Structure 1
Amino acid sequence: MKNLLAPVLTVLIGLLPAAAWAEPAPGAGQSGLVQLLFFGGFILIFYFLMWRPQSKRAKEHKELIGGLSKGDEVITNGGIAGRIVRVKDDFIVIEVSDNVEIKVQKVAVAAALPKGTLKEV
């Protein structure tokens, strides 16, 4: 089996330099422009599908955190739902049950719930 592969490999290795030095096809001068357009299209797709939606979500979350006040009902990233009792600079105190309060960072708030949601749960 080893004897059969040697001639095939020799022929393939002999063809590689010939393929590397082959002349480009006619009209290949525009390939730089095509590559530039392809790269520009890729950047536009990346912007509209990834970067723009992510920055929009970050802006909405920043507005949510800035608008937190006492009495708001929120849910955290960990799934804890409760009512805000106190608001400090970077932390909030959430009442999750009667006489049970926990301190949470403001950035851990995932969403604000409509008023009365906790009574239904």
Structure 2
Amino acid sequence: MHPVLHAFFSQTAPEGQAQNPIMGFLPFILIAVVFYFVFFRPQAKQAKQHKQFLSELKKGDEVLTQGGIIGTIIFVEDRTVTIDAGGGTKLRVLKSQVAGQWKQVESAPVKAEAKK
């Protein structure tokens, strides 16, 4: 008998004790479940939210494109939006390239340290 086959058969269950074939695949099944909940499900949820955001775009929304351009939507078409980037510059951009809503971050006023 070939040494590899001998090593394989020596690690099988003794006669009289049958192993459940599902137990051999259990670690792979658990890894697949973890991957689904950690990677695939959140990504699909985020894609669904972005698709809904794109369908709800309207005139007057301030948006940020994937190229880093910030502007106000002045016209919405089926596949494109026209953005006013300021200074009279109007850009026609694919809806899919709109990254999200632009909200300027307002800096909180610095509080004076309490005197001790």
Counterpart among 21, 25, 28 of residue 39 in structure 1 = 28
Q: What are the residue-to-residue correspondences of 1:21-100 with 2, within 5 Å?
A: 21-22=9-10, 24-26=12-14, 29-30=18-19, 32-100=21-89
Q: How far 1:16 moved relative to its partner? A: 4.0
Query: Which segments of 5 or more consecutive residues in structure 1 lack a partner in the other structure?
Result: 1-13
Identity among equivalent pairs (%): 36
Check conservation: 2:13, 2:19, Cα contact below 8 A. no
Tell me the TM-score normalised to structure 2 length.
0.75
Structure 1 residues 105 and 49, CA gap change in structure 2 (3 angstroms): same
Q: Deviations over 1:46-69 (max 9, x none)?
A: 210111101101111011101100
Distance in 2 separating the partners of 1:55 and 1:17: 45
How big is the alpha-carbon RMSD for the aligned residues of Structure 1 and Structure 2?
2.5
- Alpha carbons of structure 1 residues 116 and 88: separation in structure 2 relative to 1, 3 Å: farther
Structure 2: which 5+ runs fail to align? 107-116
For 1:11, the equivalent position in structure 2 comes to none
1:45-98 CA distances to partner (integer Å, 9 max, x unpaired)? 121011110110111101110110011000011111111111111000111112
**Structure with max Cα Rg:** 1
